[in-house]
Amino acid sequence: MNKTSQHSSFIEVVEVQGQSMWPYLKDKDLLVIKKPPFKLEVGNIYLLANKKNKKQLVHRFLPDRSFKGDNNFYPDHIAFGDLQVIGHVTHRIHKQKWINLHSNHLLKLHKTMALFSYQKEHKKLLRPFVYLYAFILRYLEEKIQ
């Protein structure tokens, strides 16, 4: 993640680098981050830091209380205690348009994405559906808002 600007002590904007959340989040997407306090909720996306190497990552919170990129087969190998939650991703900026990731009609879609990502069995069989679902979710967000 590249920090692009600091608007206040509560919000910052970061640029996505990498493919761990692809196709939902793409390289160079801009994300608006809300600083703590907040409650961790299944399906929501968070900016995390690995306490050991200080690298930042953006991943989804799953029902088993782990974090995982939508494009990763397995949850993060990092122990939960070694992760620091820096912020909660509230918006994605696409073509200068702020897309609220927590509008009422999208919350259930994000929770469903977390359930897809959480499935332990048949991961390879579900993979095409996860990609399709992520593309649809991204498309709906851009068209509805």
pLDDT of residue 119: 65
Q: Where in the sequence is the domain holding 118, given as residue range(s)?
A: 2-144
Question: Where does the pLDDT of residue 1 fall: very low under 50, low under 70, confident under 90, or very high at 90 and above?
Answer: low
Output the pLDDT for position 5: 47
What's the number of domains the chain is made of? 1
Pick from 39, 37, 31: nearest CA to 7: 31
Quote the pLDDT of residue 76.
Answer: 66
- For residue 86, the domain's CATH number is 2.10.109.10
Q: What is the structure's pLDDT at 145?
A: 62
Relative orientation angle of helices 104-118 and 123-144, to the nearest 10 degrees:
170
Give the model's pLDDT for residue 30.
Answer: 94
What pLDDT score does 2 carry? 52
- Contacting residues for 46 by C-beta, under 8 A, at least 6 apart: 40, 58, 59, 60, 61, 67, 85, 86, 87, 88, 89
Least confident of 11-25, 29-43, 49-63, 93-107: 93-107
Give the mean pLDDT of 120-131. Answer: 69
Cβ count near 95 (within 10 Å): 6
Cα–Cα distance for residue pair 62/110, rounded to 1 Å: 11
Determine the pLDDT at residue 59: 92
- How much is the average pLDDT of 64-74? 82
The DSSP symbol for 35 reads P
